[in-house]
Chain A
Amino acid sequence: MPVPILKQGKYLIASVQSALSDREVLELQERLLDLVGKHRARGVIIDVGAMDVIDTFATRSFRTVVHTTKLRGAETVIVGIQPAVAFAMVRFGLWMDDVHTALDLEEGIALLDDLTDGADVTHER
Chain B
Amino acid sequence: MEEQAVGRVESLPLAPEVDESLLKELVNHLREAREELRQEWVERISAAQLLGTMSPQEIFSEATAVYDNYVDTLETGSVERLQAYAQDLSERIVSRGVETHEVLGIVLLLRDVLARSLFQRYQTDFKKLNRILDAYEPAANRIAIIVGVSFVQERERVIGQQQATIRELSTPALQVRERLLILPIIGALDSPRATQLTEQLLGAISTNRAKVVVIDVTGVPAIDKKVANHIVETVRACRLMGAGVIITGLSPEIAQTLVTLGVDLSMMNTVGDLQGGIEAAERELGYRVIHPLEARPDEIT
A101 to B239, CA, bound (A): 7
Known contacts: A97-B267, A103-B206. The answer to whether A83 contacts B239 by CB under 8 A is no
Check A90 against B242 for contact (C-beta < 8 Å). no
Nearest CB to that of B243 among chain A residues?
A103
Chain A residues within 8 Å of chain B by Cβ, number: 22
The one of B198, B242, B267 in contact with A102, judged by C-beta atoms closer than 8 angstroms, is B242
Known contacts: A83-B206, A103-B206, A103-B211. The answer to whether A90 contacts B241 by CB under 8 A is no
Nearest CB to that of B267 among chain A residues?
A97
Kindly name the residue among A82, A86, A91, A96 whose own CB sees the greatest number of chain B CB atoms within 10 A: A86
A48 CB, nearest partner CB in chain B, Å: 10
User: Which residues does chain B contribute within 8 Å of A90, judged by CB atoms?
Assistant: 233-234, 236-237, 240
A89 to B243, CA, bound (A): 16
The yes or no answer to B40 lying at the interface (CB within 8 A) is no
The yes or no answer to B209 lying at the interface (CB within 8 A) is yes
Q: How many A-B residue pairs have CB under 8 A?
A: 61
A104 to B205, CA, bound (A): 11
**Interface size, B (range):** 20 to 34
A79-92 vs B, Cβ < 8 Å mask (1 yes, 0 no): 10111111101110
A90 to B232, CA, bound (A): 9
The yes or no answer to A95 lying at the interface (CB within 8 A) is yes
Check A101 against B236 for contact (C-beta < 8 Å). no
User: Which residues does chain B contribute within 8 Å of A27, judged by CB atoms?
Assistant: none
User: Which residues does chain B contribute within 8 Å of A102, judged by CB atoms?
Assistant: 242
The yes or no answer to A34 lying at the interface (CB within 8 A) is no
A89 to B202, CA, bound (A): 13
The yes or no answer to B199 lying at the interface (CB within 8 A) is yes
Check A83 against B199 for contact (C-beta < 8 Å). yes
The one of A87, A97, A108, A111 in contact with B239, judged by C-beta atoms closer than 8 angstroms, is A97
B192-222 vs A, Cβ < 8 Å mask (1 yes, 0 no): 0000001100110110011100000000000
The yes or no answer to A22 lying at the interface (CB within 8 A) is no
The yes or no answer to A107 lying at the interface (CB within 8 A) is yes
B115 CB, nearest partner CB in chain A, Å: 56
A84 to B238, CA, bound (A): 11
Check B209 against A81 for contact (C-beta < 8 Å). no
Give 9 A-B pairs besides A101-B241, A103-B209 with Cβ atoms closer than 8 angstroms.
A81-B240, A83-B206, A95-B236, A95-B239, A97-B267, A103-B243, A104-B242, A107-B211, A107-B242
30 cross-chain CB contacts under 8 A: A79-B242, A82-B206, A83-B205, A83-B237, A84-B199, A86-B238, A86-B241, A87-B202, A89-B237, A89-B240, A90-B233, A90-B236, A90-B237, A90-B240, A91-B233, A95-B236, A95-B240, A96-B239, A101-B239, A101-B240, A101-B241, A102-B242, A103-B205, A103-B206, A103-B210, A103-B211, A103-B241, A103-B243, A104-B242, A107-B211
A117 CB, nearest partner CB in chain B, Å: 14
User: Which residues does chain A contribute within 8 Å of B242, judged by CB atoms?
Assistant: 79, 81, 101-104, 107-108, 111
Nearest CB to that of A95 among chain B residues?
B236
User: Which residues does chain B contribute within 8 Å of A86, judged by CB atoms?
Assistant: 202, 237-238, 240-241
Check A97 against B236 for contact (C-beta < 8 Å). yes
User: Which residues does chain B contribute within 8 Å of A82, judged by CB atoms?
Assistant: 206
